[in-house]
Amino acid sequence: MRILICEDSVLLREGIARLFEDAGHEVSAALPDATGLDEAIAAELPDLCVLDVRLPPTHVDEGIRAALALRADKPDLPILVLSQYVEERYASELLAGRGGGLGYLLKDRVADVAEFVETAEAIAGGATVFDPEVVAQLLGRRARDERMQRLTDRESTVLALIAEGKSNQAIAKTLFISEGSVEKHITAVFSKLDLEQDETGNRRVLAALAHIAHGGTTPTGDLR
């Protein structure tokens, strides 16, 4: 397996590279920032790209934004994002995309060498692996969220279909209603779940996560 690492900490970058090399993998490139990342990927054709969330020059979100750009431009490229903290907004955006293997781990997971390497190999093979703490923050709090109780049966059904990945058109056909009615129900769902519109267009994913966290059940009976 050929691996590209993008991590600004010299010690961590070299340490991760050593872990992979000791496991029999090749580190094709080890970059200190996202500058030249696209060129390196084009030249090295890695099987896995490992990115730190916070990279120079601002150490805020350069790495995660690079991961999102790669996800959009090269959806089949497996990506493993490493972070010191859970960046909930960006983790949700990564989940919203489609493509090859995807991972989001907190850096303290690197301490368990065998597990870390196995996880990286699984991601390279197409698996999706999110750190338990990331999942807890994305879903755990919503599992106890009474906002779900605000939804009508019809709104809950629409939300369940959103969680299945259905488009508005598909939902309309499933429920034998107009797309306009579907849009109204979705707007009501967003409002009742306190999901305000933002630049990321992320509300649909967060609504689906809320449904999953609540148990993923669909109300029974004739909801038409």
- Residues 103-130: pLDDT tens digits? 989 888 888 899 999 999 999 998 888 8
Please state the rounded mean pLDDT for residues 182-187. Answer: 95
- Residues 74-102: pLDDT tens digits? 999 999 999 887 776 677 777 776 678 88
Return the sign of the alpha-carbon dihedral for residues 40, 9, 24, 116: negative
Instruction: Answer yes or no: is pLDDT of 224 > 80.
Output: no
| Identity of the residue numbered 181 | S
Return the sign of the alpha-carbon dihedral for residues 209, 184, 188, 197: positive
* pLDDT tier at 16, thresholds 50, 70, 90: very high
pLDDT value of position 138:
65
Of 123, 117, 58, 114, nearest to 94 by C-alpha is: 123
| Identity of the residue numbered 62 | E
Per-residue tokens: 134: 């990331």
pLDDT value of position 210:
76
Please state the rounded mean pLDDT for residues 37-65. Answer: 92
Please state the rounded mean pLDDT for residues 57-81. Answer: 90
* pLDDT tier at 218, thresholds 50, 70, 90: very low
Contacts of 22 (CB under 8 A, 6+ apart): none
Q: What percent of the chain has pLDDT over 90?
A: 47
Distance between CA atoms of 124 and 160, rounded to whole angstroms? 30
pLDDT higher at 222 or 173: 173
Domains of the chain plus CATH, in order, are 2-135 (3.40.50.2300), 145-213 (1.10.10.10)
Q: Are 17 and 30 in contact (CB under 8 A)?
A: yes
For residue 144, what are the CA distances in angstroms to 61, 96, 124, 190, 213? 29, 22, 34, 17, 8
Query: Rounded to the nearest 5°, which phi and psi values hold at 139?
Result: -115, -40
Distance between CA atoms of 21 and 124, rounded to whole angstroms? 15
Alpha helices for the chain (secondary structure H): 10-22, 37-44, 62-73, 88-96, 113-124, 132-135, 141-143, 153-163, 168-175, 179-192, 203-213
CB 29: neighbour CB atoms within 10 A?
19
Instruction: Answer yes or no: is pLDDT of 69 > 60.
Output: yes
- Residues 126-176: pLDDT tens digits? 888 888 777 666 655 554 457 788 899 999 999 989 888 889 999 999 999
pTM across the whole model: 0.63
Instruction: Answer yes or no: is pLDDT of 5 > 60.
Output: yes
Instruction: Answer yes or no: is pLDDT of 197 > 60.
Output: yes
Three state DSSP letters for 168-224: HHHHHHHHCCCHHHHHHHHHHHHHHCCCCCCCCCCHHHHHHHHHHHCCCCCCCCCCC
pLDDT higher at 214 or 72: 72
Of 115, 114, 148, 147, nearest to 132 by C-alpha is: 115
pLDDT value of position 141:
52
pLDDT value of position 215:
62
Q: Are 30 and 14 in contact (CB under 8 A)?
A: yes
* pLDDT tier at 217, thresholds 50, 70, 90: very low
